[in-house]
């Protein structure tokens, strides 16, 4: 049964009066215009849409307060919760409101009335995270020539208004994922603006079976309020949300908020100058490596050639991207010893050294943790006579670091000497065999001035201190170190990701929480291109779109022979460039800069969580105060100044960045073109009936890649 609830203009006015709030935009008083705190109110019903927006705010470092409607002990949203005064000046405690839909409260709710009055009084925008298309949000119901249902694989488009507004960082296309034919991944209500409604579509998609377009994201102005109406469901991992998340935040904050978001991609290539052992498709292990016990098989190493170097430099030039080469100098020494002093690969790489970035990867790629007993699979740590763990010595670790550095410097490699990637990330804890770091590692790092140490994100994701060094977690790509050919990669992938009954290792059966079994083995002739590349590309692009600066790593073997890394790398970058405008480039940082970014984020998040950051806007001035030594991060309109100097650097149509804080207040001056938001023109009050139940199909979660490489 359909029920219509009407709220008249006089009723809204009465509610405002009852809440002791002004009707219309808050007026300047003797002390000036109202103060708007730079904090977002997120009202959640536990659904994926509001959680996704909260995750975006978290990642950027934008403060918010979350009210969980499912928690009986939650605070009541009333006038006192939303606003007060400071030193006689009216204060809005939140610069934006995010609701699970346009009205998640019961009919006649005083909380929704308080929110509406607050938004009118202080010109506060509201995001309807996922709502049903209906006149109350400025849209016709789907039955009136629209559509409700799945939109997996649909290509949506940013409208001209969207490009001129909050989604100007996108090139236009917003493709919706279709990763599984058996899972409904996206559900939407497509509809046109209701007759007479002041509704502007920002993102729309074709209505099936028609030539019409239906809105997916649009702005509805009514009753002195502004709402961003989103009519499709999403979770924080889906590409369509990741593409639109920045615009949602920019819309609701007017481009003035704490925190910043950029799209990062860095790729480390390990074992350069060395050779990598090859997967044996018959033995299902890697001769020469610890996974082949008893010396089984004959090693067949994979090593780049000068032609592979030419290909790498040409690829970099065509993609405006720089690879980071993690090198082992003894690999060249071994090659020269085996070939009468000749190493054409090293000669070529050294001649082209300025085309790459370089990282010390230790001299011989020795294992620097405990002393390994490799006579058993899996290996174990050797013990001393007293039962204690036998550790690789401080002098051995120092030799590996210092000798490789000296070799690189003699070759003229442009090194940052405080960066280090140990072989197999060894020296750091490795579960289950080695549950703690080698205690000699921190000492050797101090000896050699190492400040940034690579770790494996699949095992050691959190940034932490190891003596004087800070870790930088790296994502292992599912392009295996022991594969130079696509058929080898597919064969090993089958071994890892199929059940024992299908001839696989059964790892996926033993670890179902992190590894998904294939329904059937891949065709080794086509499986890499048809299955592995698209999947790995999607996973890696997901990291890029998540404001995640952590680097990815592959191996020099993947740039040799079939050059199997490039389809994935090109897929990520080409896919990215097809989605984003030129003002939003991929940010390609070296390892120490990534580490510094992550460390600043941690300090900023800690300060936010401790309530030590104060930030607000009064007119064209933004004031931020943070603890002494905590760098401040913000996103502001182009032309913003700090102490008379231009702030930040340009990205996605705004300026953003970090600035040092000495514990005193920082005052940013916004450009005159960035006026404080005003309330929308008054119109006939919209009905305030609670939003109908929206359909929430099962979402898709990100696959966690398993990597056989340490």
C-alpha separations of 93 from 40, 79, 122, 254, 608 in Å: 8, 10, 10, 16, 15
C-alpha separations of 463 from 401, 443, 452, 455, 470 in Å: 21, 19, 10, 9, 7
- 198-206 vs 155-158, strand pairing mode: antiparallel
**How far is it, in rounded angstroms, from Cα 618 to Cα 623?**
8
Domain range 9-258, its CATH number among 3.40.50.880, 3.50.50.60, 2.40.40.20, 3.40.980.20? 3.40.50.880
Give the DSSP per-residue string, 608-649.
HHTT--EEEEETTEEEEE--TTPPEEEEE-TT-EETTEE-SE
pLDDT grade, residue 539 (50/70/90)?
Answer: very high
Rounded average pLDDT over 615-639: 97
**3 state SS for 328-350:** CCHHHHHHHHHCCCCCHHHHHHH
Model's pTM, two decimal places? Answer: 0.92
Q: Is the pLDDT of residue 607 over 50?
A: yes
**Among residues 494, 531, 512, 539, which one has the least CA distance to residue 708?**
494
What is the model's pLDDT at position 702?
A: 41
Q: How many CA atoms lie within 13 A of 170 on its CB side?
A: 28
Domains of the chain, residue spans:
9-258
User: Is the peptide bond preceding residue 378 cis, with omega within 30 degrees of 0?
Assistant: yes
**How far is it, in rounded angstroms, from Cα 202 to Cα 217?**
5
pLDDT 10s digits, 10-34: 333 433 343 444 444 444 454 569 9
**284-298, 314-328, 411-425, 662-676 — which is least confidently predicted?**
284-298
What is the model's pLDDT at position 17?
A: 41
What is the model's pLDDT at position 672?
A: 87
Higher-pLDDT residue of 169 and 3 is 169
> Over the chain, what is the mean pLDDT?
92
pLDDT 10s digits, 397-446: 999 999 999 999 999 999 999 999 999 999 999 999 999 999 999 999 99
**Among residues 268, 396, 398, 401, which one has the least CA distance to residue 329?**
401
What is the model's pLDDT at position 521?
A: 97
Whole-number percent of the chain with pLDDT over 70: 91
Rounded average pLDDT over 626-652: 97
Higher-pLDDT residue of 102 and 299 is 102
pLDDT grade, residue 3 (50/70/90)?
Answer: very low
**Helix/strand/coil for 133:** coil
What is the model's pLDDT at position 688?
A: 62
**3 state SS for 228-275:** EEECECCCCCCHHHHHHHHHHHHHHHCCCEECCCCCECCEEEEEECCC
Q: Is the pLDDT of residue 294 over 90?
A: no
pLDDT grade, residue 674 (50/70/90)?
Answer: confident
């Amino acid at each position: 049964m359909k029920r219509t609830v009407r709220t008249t203009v006089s009723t809204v006015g009465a509610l405002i009066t009852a809440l002791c709030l002004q009707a219309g935009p808050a007026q300047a008083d003797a002390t000036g215009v109202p103060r708007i705190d730079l904090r977002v109110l997120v009202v959640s019903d536990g659904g994926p849409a509001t959680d996704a927006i909260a995750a975006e705010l978290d990642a950027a470092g934008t403060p918010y307060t979350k009210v969980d409607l499912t928690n009986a002990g939650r605070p009541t949203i009333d006038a006192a919760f939303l606003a007060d005064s400071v030193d006689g000046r009216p204060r809005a405690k939140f610069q934006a409101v995010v609701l699970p839909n346009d009205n998640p409260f019961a009919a006649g709710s005083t909380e929704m009335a308080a929110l509406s009055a607050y938004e009118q009084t202080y010109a506060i925008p509201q995001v309807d995270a996922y709502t049903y298309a209906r006149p109350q949000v400025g849209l016709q119901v789907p039955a009136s020539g629209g559509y409700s249902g799945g939109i997996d694989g649909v290509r949506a488009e940013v409208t001209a208004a969207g490009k001129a507004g909050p989604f100007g960082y996108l090139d236009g296309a917003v493709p919706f994922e279709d990763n599984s034919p058996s899972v409904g991944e996206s559900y939407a209500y497509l509809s046109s603006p209701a007759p007479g409604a002041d509704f502007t579509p920002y993102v729309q998609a074709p209505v099936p079976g028609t030539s019409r377009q239906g809105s997916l994201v649009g702005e509805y102005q009514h009753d002195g309020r502004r709402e961003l109406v989103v009519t499709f469901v999403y979770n924080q991992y889906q590409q369509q949300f990741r593409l639109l998340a920045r615009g949602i935040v920019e819309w609701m904050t007017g481009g003035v908020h704490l925190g910043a978001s950029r799209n990062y991609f860095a790729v480390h290539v390990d074992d350069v100058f060395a050779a990598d052992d090859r997967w044996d498709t018959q033995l299902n292990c890697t001769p020469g490596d610890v996974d082949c016990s008893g010396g089984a098989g004959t090693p067949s190493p994979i090593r780049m050639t000068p032609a592979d170097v030419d290909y790498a430099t040409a690829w970099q030039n065509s993609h405006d991207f720089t690879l980071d080469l993690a090198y082992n100098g003894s690999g060249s020494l071994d090659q020269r010893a085996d070939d009468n002093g000749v190493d054409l690969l090293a000669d070529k790489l050294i001649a082209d050294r300025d085309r790459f970035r370089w990282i010390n990867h230790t001299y011989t790629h020795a294992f620097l943790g405990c002393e390994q007993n490799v006579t058993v699979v899996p290996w174990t740590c050797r013990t001393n006579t007293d039962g204690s763990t036998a550790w690789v010595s401080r002098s051995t670790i120092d030799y590996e670091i210092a000798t490789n550095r000296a070799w690189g410097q003699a070759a003229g490699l442009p090194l940052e000497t405080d960066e280090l990637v140990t072989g197999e990330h060894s020296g750091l804890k490795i579960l289950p065999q080695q549950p703690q770091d080698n205690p000699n590692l921190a000492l050797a790092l101090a000896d050699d001035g190492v400040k940034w140490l690579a770790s494996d994100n699949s095992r050691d994701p959190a940034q932490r201190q190891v003596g004087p060094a800070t870790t930088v977690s790296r994502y292992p790509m599912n392009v295996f170190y022991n594969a130079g050919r696509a058929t080898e990669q597919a064969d090993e992938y089958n071994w890892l990701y199929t059940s024992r009954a299908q001839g696989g290792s059964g790892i996926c059966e033993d670890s179902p929480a992190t590894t998904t079994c294939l329904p059937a083995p891949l065709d080794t002739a086509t499986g890499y291109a048809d299955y592995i590349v698209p999947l790995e590309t999607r996973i890696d692009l997901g990291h890029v779109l998540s404001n995640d600066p952590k680097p990815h790593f592959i191996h020099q073997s993947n740039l040799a022979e079939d050059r199997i890394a490039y389809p994935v790398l090109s897929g990520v970058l080409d896919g990215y460039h097809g989605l984003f405008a030129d003002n939003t480039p991929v940010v390609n940082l070296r390892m120490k800069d990534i580490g510094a970014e992550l460390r600043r984020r941690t300090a900023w998040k800690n300060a936010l969580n401790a309530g030590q950051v104060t930030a607000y806007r009064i007119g064209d001035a933004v004031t931020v105060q943070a603890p002494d030594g905590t760098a401040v991060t913000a996103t502001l309109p182009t032309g913003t100044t700090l102490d008379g100097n231009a702030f930040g650097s340009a990205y996605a149509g705004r300026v953003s960045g970090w600035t040092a804080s000495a514990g005193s207040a920082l005052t940013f001056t916004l450009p005159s073109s960035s006026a404080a938001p005003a309330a929308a023109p008054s119109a006939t009050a919209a009905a305030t009936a609670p939003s109908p139940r929206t359909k929430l199909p099962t979402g898709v979660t990100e696959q966690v890649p398993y990597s056989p490489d340490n």
